[in-house]
Structure 1
Amino acid sequence: MRRPEGCAGGGAGTVTRRIVLATHNPHKVAEFAAIVAATRPDLEVVGYDGPEPVEDGVTFAANALIKARAAAAHTGLPALADDSGICVDVLGGSPGVFSAYWAGHRKDAGANLALLLDQLSDIADPHRTAQFVSTIALVTPEGAEHVVEGIWPGRLATSASGAGGFGYDPIFLPDGQDRTAAELSPGEKNAASHRARAFAALVPLLSEV
């Protein structure tokens, strides 16, 4: 289904253009919408309701492009897609691109988190360093493509804490913080997260939208 480019008004002369986020995850849509609104209030982020493509890439960039291309083709709108995950240094960068499926193909966030904690149960704090990585692809219906990356460094806690966020947020302690990403307010997280950093790199490229 093609979505028309909307002209919505917050006031006279205000034009809102739609950009589709290639995900069925409502948490990601809400997080991206807040990040985009802070710098590009003229863009309205809408969720993707089309078929999910097979994410058979072996890098964040490959999977982000697969999703963004599919969403742009299905909707006729410029499309953003984020492929992200947590990379643990002592595990050689894993779970990485397999973060969503670390405990199996059910995409069970709780099981993923519990398995990662169990694997690191004997690892001392100095060796629990990790990074959240976000790769964002922008694809336009005309075929223009851009890929940017954001990295949020930190370390892993020994137990989960906090009710906010999603995924591995309850065990991720960003550098300079004694609170997990799940204990930060949405505003604090959206100002510092890997997605916010990737989107900041993307902003200069959004003139194509």
Structure 2
Amino acid sequence: MKICAATGNAGKLRELRRILEAQGHEVVSQKELGITIEPDETGTTFEANALIKAETICKASGLPTIADDSGLCVDALDGAPGVYSARYCGHHGDDEANNDKLLEKMKDVPAGQRGAKFVAAVCFILPTGQHLTCRGECPGRVAFERLAGDYGFGYDPLFIPDECGVGRTDKRPNSEGRSYAQLTPDEKDAISHRGNALAEMEKKLPEFLKKAE
């Protein structure tokens, strides 16, 4: 199936394309289609924002479209930055400023109280308006400093997942304490919030498409 990926985030596009192509789909980005719309994310949940993005770009592209809204939910901050993750610093898409603010907010939080989870809601929508939304989560904790690696984007250098992937599907404890940014793509996809949401979607999509006919 040819699917439009509704995102202008290069890192997110790489992950969506990598995971969806492994599932057998052809992925074209909104940029490749010449679509420059940036929908206003006015929802108060990940699911609502994913639907807003999917609906807008689907109408512009005329193709089945997939969009995700994701963020980091920190226990010690009552779930913040949550749906405001991309604009936590006060403006959109400044990864370094977002990470700086999170480190500052967490500077006095001890090791045992730094729990967090990444959450993703992925929405697949047809030009008819019928849509399917799946949620994925990945538990872990916030590091005391950036643990930068060769991969990742956003808050990835600050997030230490509880597990890491082995191959494409197996998992093991992240005993080395590596950050999302230090995991290889396969190690991350097998356990990540986005990977989990897309795996759930892969299970549900055939029945959804059958009912949509």
Q: TM-score, normalised by structure 2?
A: 0.86
Range 23-32 or range 88-97, more displaced: 23-32
Q: What's the counterpart of residue 31 of structure 1?
A: 15
Q: What's the counterpart of residue 59 of structure 1?
A: 45
Whether 1:181 and 2:180 are equivalent positions in the alignment is yes
The SS at the match of 1:138 is strand
Q: Could you report, residue by residue, the CA deviation over 1:104-150 in whole angstroms, capped at 9, with x for unpaired residues?
A: 11421000001101110010011000000000011100111111100
Rounded to whole Å, the distance in 1 between the matches of 2:154 and 2:2 is 27
Q: Percent identity?
A: 43
The SS at the match of 1:83 is strand
Rounded to whole Å, the distance in 1 between the matches of 2:144 and 2:99 is 11
Q: What's the counterpart of residue 18 of structure 1?
A: 2
Gaps of 5+ in 1: 1-16
Q: TM-score, normalised by structure 1?
A: 0.88
Q: Could you report, residue by residue, the CA deviation over 1:4-24 in whole angstroms, capped at 9, with x for unpaired residues?
A: xxxxxxxxxxxxx31011101
Q: Could you report, residue by residue, the CA deviation over 1:66-111 in whole angstroms, capped at 9, with x for unpaired residues?
A: 0000111111111110000000011110000000000011421000
Q: How many residues align?
A: 191
Give the Å deviation of 1:53. 1.4
Aligned residue among 119, 122, 146 for 1:160? 146
Whether 1:172 and 2:159 are equivalent positions in the alignment is yes
The SS at the match of 1:114 is helix
State whether residues 29 and 45 of structure 1, in contact with CA within 8 Å, keep that contact through their aligned partners in structure 2.
no
Give the Å deviation of 1:37. 2.4
Give the root-mean-square deviation of aligned CA atoms.
Answer: 1.2
CA distance 1:106–1:151, shift in 2 (3 Å): closer
Q: Could you report, residue by residue, the CA deviation over 1:16-71 in whole angstroms, capped at 9, with x for unpaired residues?
A: x3101110112111111111123x22x11111132111111111111000000011
Counterpart of 2:75, as a letter, is: D
Gaps of 5+ in 2: 163-172
State whether residues 129 and 155 of structure 1, in contact with CA within 8 Å, keep that contact through their aligned partners in structure 2.
yes
Aligned residue among 134, 140, 158 for 2:126? 140
